[in-house]
Structure 1
């Protein structure tokens, strides 16, 4: 067995180097499974927030509002990170199924899931327009980044001719 590299960066490169061990189809399938699992977990976390929701107004709280929302800072960190994870996984699912049979159905299902997630978040979060603007922006970040990357690739391709 060969000696491992002494440089930690080289060791990580050796450990995580793909070197064509798996076919692109196998990699796509694994990524699709991982993205689907992330979407399922983040969707569930958004629909059923940690700690649950207030059941009645006897405590002076709004019934149906997330209990975790009483800790404003941590709750919004949770919402932003959860929304970013869901949007990223939806973006990955759409990218990996692009051009395949039933692609339209995948898009309809994922967009419907995103709208359902948004309505659930709206229902359990204390009403504040400012936070919802940030959450909406967070949901679009993965799609905007992908668009910018594709535009950059196209620009570099055109400029190289």
Structure 2
């Protein structure tokens, strides 16, 4: 299989689209339902003698974990951060592959909009199940952009090759001495 998305066969392109679509679906689902699940109720510090009034959001308790946040994040932050980083990297690599496979499609604008919206929805879902910190956002931004950054050198090389090919196809003007000879 060729590495240039413009020179692969239709069969290979379709196979890659199916595989990357499955990867996008699985990684998105894993972000919504992280390993260990999410807390179903707020978890309070058991050492405190406090009361929680379910009818009111006001209480004097220290919250250890909020309902809807990742259980794994509160119990093993490094493992959870590793999981989210590699899951996000796989998600982004799959969405960027879909984009590059459909680069010459007449629907490239719609594809790009869909991919960016999917990336934002992914980040929003991850942000919903873990505490939002600058480290979290930096990690997600890095993982989402890495596949595009890795592809950048090949895009630059390809655009230079296209530019050289165009320059070779353009007829050159005759030198001034030869123009007057006719």
* TM-score normalised by length of structure 1: 0.77
Superposed counterparts of 1:119-134, under 5 Å: 119-134=124-139
Detail structure 1 runs of 4+ shifted over 3 Å in the superposition.
152-159
Counterpart of 1:32 in structure 2 is 17
Instruction: Pick which of 26-35 and 58-67 moved more.
Output: 58-67
Q: 2:115 aligns with which of 110, 117, 129?
A: 110
Does residue 96 of the first structure (1) align with residue 101 of the second (2)?
yes
Residue 155 (structure 1) shift:
4.9
* Partners of 1:158 and 1:26 in 2: CA distance: 29
Residue 46 (structure 1) shift:
0.7
Superposed counterparts of 1:1-161, under 5 Å: 24-59=9-44, 60-70=64-74, 71-155=76-160
Q: Secondary structure at the match of 1:43?
A: helix
**Structure 2 gaps, min length 5:** 2-7, 45-63, 169-182
Identify, as 1 or 2, the structure richer in helix.
1
* Partners of 1:154 and 1:111 in 2: CA distance: 23
Larger radius of gyration: 2
* Partners of 1:143 and 1:90 in 2: CA distance: 10
* Partners of 2:122 and 2:162 in 1: CA distance: 38
Residue 149 (structure 1) shift:
2.1
* Partners of 1:109 and 1:151 in 2: CA distance: 24
Residue 25 (structure 1) shift:
0.6
* Partners of 1:53 and 1:76 in 2: CA distance: 15
Residue 53 (structure 1) shift:
0.9
Give aligned pairs, total. Answer: 140
Residue 157 (structure 1) shift:
7.4
Q: Residues 105-129 of structure 1: CA distance to partner in whole angstroms, max 9, x if unpaired?
A: 2222221111111001111112321
* Partners of 1:74 and 1:107 in 2: CA distance: 32
Indicate the RMSD between aligned Cα atoms, in angstroms.
2.3
